[in-house]
């Protein structure tokens, strides 16, 4: 007999942090996309493990979908140490290891979304932009699908 129980509800974290290497490309892209998709009451931030510089290709590919970083500049994970997050989504291996170290004694869910680094793309400007678009679209799909968030625990 088939299991007729409802599928677990997808819940959006109340406070969400995206982390990558330098908070220049993947994590700020994810932050801005998440702000455009997730409920208005969701606290969303992003940070990097190391200091970084703003990447103009990010501005270009976000503008293509009507989004923009405004005056936002890259920030380091260390600058957010007083903030609390329900979920930390890491987008690069070094960010994942650092987030696990930082949250060892906290009840924070750390999720790894392997995300390509578009800076490794070579060739024409258009080819490089395509690599950034691929990352943008992957993040948008993942965030909007709701499939990347942890399932509620029994009794929640």
pLDDT in tens, 114-149: 999 999 999 999 999 999 999 999 999 999 987 766
Confidence at residue 5, expressed as pLDDT on a 0 to 100 scale? 46
The reported pLDDT for the residue numbered 8 is 44
Q: What are the CA-CA distances from residue 69 to residues 5, 14, 41, 90, 138 (Å)?
A: 42, 21, 19, 19, 18
Mean pLDDT of 95-107: 89
Q: Is the pLDDT of residue 38 over 50?
A: yes
Closest CA to 75 of 60, 91, 94, 53: 53
Contact between residue 25 and residue 132 where contact means Cβ atoms under 8 Å apart: yes
Q: What pLDDT is attached to residue 151?
A: 57
Q: What is the pTM of this model?
A: 0.88
Q: Read out DSSP for 49-84?
A: SS-----HHHHHHHHTTT---TT----BGGGGTT--
Cα distance between residue 126 and residue 81, in whole Å: 38
Which DSSP letter does residue 8 get? P
| pLDDT attached to residue 12 | 76
């Amino acid at each position: 007999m088939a299991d007729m129980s409802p599928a677990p509800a997808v819940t959006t974290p109340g406070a969400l942090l995206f982390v990558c290497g330098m908070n220049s490309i993947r994590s700020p892209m994810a932050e801005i996309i998440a702000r455009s998709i997730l409920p208005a009451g969701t606290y969303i931030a992003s940070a990097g493990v190391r200091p970084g510089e703003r990447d103009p290709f990010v501005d270009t590919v976000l503008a293509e979908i009507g989004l923009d970083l405004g005056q936002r500049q890259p920030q380091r994970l260390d600058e957010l140490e007083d903030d609390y997050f329900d979920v930390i989504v890491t987008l690069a291996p070094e960010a994942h290891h650092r987030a696990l170290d930082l949250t060892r004694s906290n009840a924070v869910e750390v999720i790894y979304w392997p995300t390509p680094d578009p800076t490794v793309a070579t060739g024409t400007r258009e080819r490089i932009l395509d690599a950034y678009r691929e990352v943008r679209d992957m993040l948008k799909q993942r965030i909007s699908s709701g499939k990347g968030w942890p399932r509620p625990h029994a009794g929640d």
